Structure 1
Amino acid sequence: MRLPDVTALLRRRHLALGAALLVALLLAMLFHGVSRGDAQPSAAPPPVPVVTTRVEQRDVPHWRSGVGTVQSLQSTVLRPQVDGVLTEVLFEEGQKVRKGQLLARIDDRAIRAGLGGAQAALVRDRATLDAARSDLSRLQHLSSDQLVSRQMLEQQAATVQQLQATGRGNQAAVDAAQVQLSYTRIVAPMDGRIGLRQVDPGNLVRASDTQGLVTVQQTDPISVVFALPQDALPQLRQALAAGGAQVQALDREGGQLLAEGTLQVIDNQVDEASGTVRLRARFSNASDQLWPGQLVSVRVRTGQSTGALVLDAAAIQRGVQGSFVYRVVADGSVESLPVTVGEQDGGQVVVQGELRVGDVVVSDGQSRLRPGTVVAEAKPAAAPAAVRRGAAP
């Protein structure tokens, strides 16, 4: 049996391996050439659309905010001061009244009768007193001629004094009856607004009744009582000493201004439980924007930042290192700048840092930004054609 030629076998394997390597090399060169021919330079990403705002410089007031309750400066429950039948009601519920205006009457016939009797007794006693004084005068003349005894003179003088005392008592009775008669006319004790009537005409009312006839509340001017943290006390006292701090009353949501007034009183103690101090502000209320018992938002002006740098509050971003903004630089890209946030006035906020007046910062679209990102001002969305023409949608 012949053994295979080992040398020839090795030669054939070397030739096959070389051919495979040559084919692989040719394929690699061909693929590299195709790749080089098809490759295109990568395009730059498009600018990110954003909304921008500019840094401005102006005076910014300092405000402290709280929640308050509208309270009447004066509130009175009208109660009867004499017993009697309520004969007449001369007001409408909710009506505005003036001080001294007649509101109701109580039956006064019995009191007038008592007053008439007291006046008659006073007239009678005055006539008796006049007669006694005349007798005393005659006795004094006769006494000088020693025609009457000293005892008679002293008795007549005592009679005159007694009648004088009786007259003063009758005058007091007349005055008391006149006071009682005045109580049958119920008048408004101040300018204000009438509440809901509690008693109808024809009912018997008594001075001991606790319910009262009606309530009158002063509504112009009016006050708001509210509380602020005790750390605002130094600024509040300084503002009050300077003539009164400006106070604004707004609706519950804090959007609509209802009235403007001034701070009047700071309570004489801090509430230990809440760490707040109560305050009272006074407002003109001719248009009845404020109503007793109403809850309102309150803003008190405690100072002012002069010549401060301000921008839209929406431009402020919060990060791990603190607050920052994206400022647009000359090449259209953005850079991140740290800022210190101060007082806020409406939708704008005071900032400190490297910003300058006129700098352009991003106020919307920051979520897609990184330092170096190129941005472009977003165009406002066009209104629908029907809306532009004023037609109903």
Structure 2
Amino acid sequence: MRAKKFRFPDRIRKSRKAQAETQFNWIFVLIVGALIIAFFAFIVVKQRSASEAKFSGKISQQLNTILVSAKVSSGTVQEIPTPEISIRFTCNDYYIGPASQRLGSRVVFAPEYVEGNSIITWTLDWNVPYKVTSFLYITSPLVKYVVVGDGRAAEKIYDALPDKLTKQTVLMSNYITLSDEGDRHVRFIFVDQTAPSFDIPIGLDGVDVSGLKVNTGERSVQFLVQSETGLITSGQVYRYIEDEILYGAIFADKPDEYDCLVKRAYSRLNIVSSVYYEKLNEMAPMFDATNCEGFYRRNSDINSLVTATDDYPLDVADYTAIGNAKSDLRDTNTRLQLQSCPLIY
């Protein structure tokens, strides 16, 4: 007897077909929904990125205006409110988010990162002895500068730093007892301390710190960086003649960037001195056979400045020549004044 073939009723077959179609529809809806969500998420991210780029560009332009205006007024200190931002400085540029601006020929000493809702600017003319350029120093109230030393030299450096800075002075014997006071970064300036490295106070465990060794006798500085064993030296020893160069090492926290900025400054000194040298040679015939002529024709002091700054880095002899020429030019200017001759500067 042949077995009967079992057949599903039509309504069961239709039900299963409907279920399959329903499942397919749901899968289709989920895929389409995911694509729609991804599309709108992409739009939101792009709009946010565009908005941030626009905001960063606007702040960057405003900061450029601030830098230009700050450079005009030598000796001024300003605390300028800003949005909550992080500015990254290099020797040649500064960055706010994706936006950047070139610094050009400007000499701007600043930490690598300046953060917070305000910046502090300080402008000083660099005179050797005539004005060469203006230095701009930038930092944040979130950075504390601690001058560590026991003598008058440490007090002098502390007093020279603007009062608007977050700053403190401490004796070397009390240095190790310092504690965290909520500062985002602490930079130590060790004045005339001979130790090759320095322990970081236990109370500052976890705080971002850096340092600088200053030898006021040799007029030299060396950078200190944070390590597992404390603050250790980094980079070469840099000499300075004018205090304005020293202050640059206090504000800048990367030796390579500092070196680049100092190179730019001395290059500027070379250019300005060359212009003075040519100008005085052109003036000399106007004072032929007078007491003034000898001061202008082939002025040896200005020629010394040109020669000393022809190549960078400078050596000890170059720094000595610059110091001597600077002093001699001041004396020459005084004698010119006494003899009623036009001043050199």
Report the TM-score, using the length of structure 2 for normalisation.
0.21
Q: Which has the higher contact order (CA 8 A, sep 6+)?
A: 1
Q: Considering only CA atoms, is the larger Rg found in Structure 1 or Structure 2?
A: 1
Report which of the two has the higher share of strand. Answer: 1
Q: TM-score, normalised to structure 1's length?
A: 0.19
